[in-house]
């Protein structure tokens, strides 16, 4: 290809690796048989040469929740979850997730399902001039949520992140005071994040308690973020 003919490339991608896209600059891809020399560098075990790839510029918890449901519904496994420092100039994370499976159609189906669910589960992202908030909830944690946030399998999972970081801590405090939940993960700019400007907690417990806690955190976070002077944009569709 002459690089000057770049506009000859269609936005309707027909490559075999391409599965699709979703909100928040999310792309889903498959590799039916990964190159051996590359595979050795990847450090994702040796079982699966058929890989599903999923990544976004913005957000992590919603997409991991989507991957979690997708893996539960298909014959696939989560091989790695990484959280780059991204969000297109904002203070948070994106995500990069690798799945494995024995069958390319299983893996493709898992990625396709995760993209579809991302349009739902990544709905709880709020971005203003001053900062951002992210929330997620699942009634029953599967292997992706367990791997990323330490939530016991089968327990309800709640997630909240607030930026600037101080907002995240007050959200967390009000959330855990409001219902009988346990903190399974606690992250700050120096602890567990990729130096994002967030305080993040993941919580577990009874589904109704976890959901109530997330809603309490959301209310707190929205009031504080809006108190910084501007209303947030909501790039997805809130579902909680």
Of residues 214-233, which lie at the interface with its own copies (CB under 8 A)?
A: 218-220, 222-224, 226-232
Answer yes or no: are the C-beta atoms of 95 and 56 closer than 8 Å.
yes
Find the part of the chain contacting its own copies (CB under 8 A) among 22-30, 68-76, 141-149, 153-161: 22-30
Question: Of 171-210, which residues contact its own copies (CB under 8 A)?
Answer: 172-173, 176-177, 182-183, 186, 188-191, 193-199, 201
Q: Give the closest residue to 32 by CA, choosing from 117, 101, 120, 91.
A: 101
Kindly state whether residue 46 participates in binding its own copies, applying the rule CB under 8 A.
no
Measured in degrees and rounded to the nearest 5, phi and psi for residue 155 equal -85, 160
Question: Of 60-79, which residues contact its own copies (CB under 8 A)?
Answer: none
Question: Of 104-133, which residues contact its own copies (CB under 8 A)?
Answer: 129-131
Kindly state whether residue 240 participates in binding its own copies, applying the rule CB under 8 A.
yes
CA angle 220–225–231, rounded 5-degree value: 120
Measured in degrees and rounded to the nearest 5, phi and psi for residue 53 equal -120, 140
Q: How far is CA 48 from the centre of its chain?
A: 23
Give the number of residues in contact with its own copies, rule: CB under 8 A. Answer: 89
Query: Nearest distance from residue 197's CB to its own copies, in Å?
Result: 4
Kindly state whether residue 25 participates in binding its own copies, applying the rule CB under 8 A.
yes
Using CA atoms, how far residue 239 sits from 6, 62, 120, 192, in Å, is 38, 11, 7, 27
Question: Of 80-109, which residues contact its own copies (CB under 8 A)?
Answer: 82-86, 88-91, 94, 96, 98
Q: Give the closest residue to 131 by CA, choosing from 83, 169, 177, 180.
A: 169
Question: Of 139-168, which residues contact its own copies (CB under 8 A)?
Answer: 163-167
């Amino acid at each position: 290809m002459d690089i000057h003919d770049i506009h000859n490339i269609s936005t309707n991608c027909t490559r075999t690796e391409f599965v699709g896209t979703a909100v928040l600059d999310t792309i889903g891809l498959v590799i039916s048989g990964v190159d051996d020399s590359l595979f050795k560098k990847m450090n994702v075990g040796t079982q699966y040469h058929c890989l599903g790839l999923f990544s976004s510029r913005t957000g992590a918890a919603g997409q991991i929740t989507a991957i979690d449901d997708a893996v539960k519904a298909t014959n696939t496994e989560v091989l790695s979850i990484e959280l780059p420092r991204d969000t297109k100039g904002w203070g948070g994370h994106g995500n990069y997730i690798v799945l494995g499976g024995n069958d390319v159609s299983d893996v493709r189906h898992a990625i396709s399902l995760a993209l579809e669910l991302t349009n739902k589960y990544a709905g709880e992202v709020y971005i203003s001039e001053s900062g951002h908030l992210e929330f997620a909830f699942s009634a029953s944690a599967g292997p992706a949520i367990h791997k990323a946030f330490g939530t016991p399998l089968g327990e309800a999972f709640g997630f909240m992140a607030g930026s600037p970081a101080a907002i995240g801590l007050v959200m967390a405090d009000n959330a855990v005071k409001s219902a009988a939940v346990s903190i399974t993960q606690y992250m700050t700019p120096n602890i567990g994040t990729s130096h994002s400007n967030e305080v993040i907690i993941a919580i577990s417990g009874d589904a109704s308690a976890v959901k109530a806690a997330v809603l309490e955190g959301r209310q707190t976070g929205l009031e504080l973020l809006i108190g910084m002077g501007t209303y947030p944009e909501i790039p997805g569709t809130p579902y909680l």
